[in-house]
Amino acid sequence: MRAVVQRVDGASVSVVGTADDLSGPVIVGEIVGEGLCALVGVTHDDTPEKAAQLARKLWSLRILEGEKSCSDVNAPLLVISQFTLYGDVRKGRRPTWNAAAPGEVAEPLVDEVVARLRALGARVETGRFGADMRVSLTNHGPFTVIVEV
């Protein structure tokens, strides 16, 4: 599993409605104030154990103000699935997605990361798997790290 993690001062994810929905994007997940936004990608050999390991890492990662973790200050997390983290652009001009796990494999593992975070006591907001999402955030720092387990 791979995550791009940003220290944020507020973040939200909205989902664009169907063609029949004229109301525009709807916010499905939002955190206010200091926290982390984690874009999570899944590859073929990932397991529930790796999801648990990633959750523990996200919960204890000391990248908040004053080298604190979310667990130290009860900061919220916004977790969003993102298969494009396993895109490969080494050849040609178009990414290949061969390393990204298919939705039926990836969705339960992203859900497992969220469930494990919540079991640790985290306040977690999420995007909507497979939806056309818009992510807005204020990157505090800027501070961005890549976490692989």
CA dihedral of residues 73, 3, 48, 30 (deg, nearest 10): 50
Residue 67 vs residues 26, 61, 84, 110, 143: alpha-carbon distances, Å: 34, 9, 29, 26, 12
Which residues are designated catalytic?
Answer: 82-84
Coil/strand/helix, residue 144 = strand
Of 131, 110, 124, 94, the residue nearest 31 (C-alpha): 124
Q: Let me know: does 144 contact 4? Beta carbons within 8 Å.
A: yes
- Residue ranges with strand state E in the chain: 2-15, 26-41, 77-81, 124-126, 133-148
Listed residue (78, 60, 55) closest to 70, CA to CA: 60
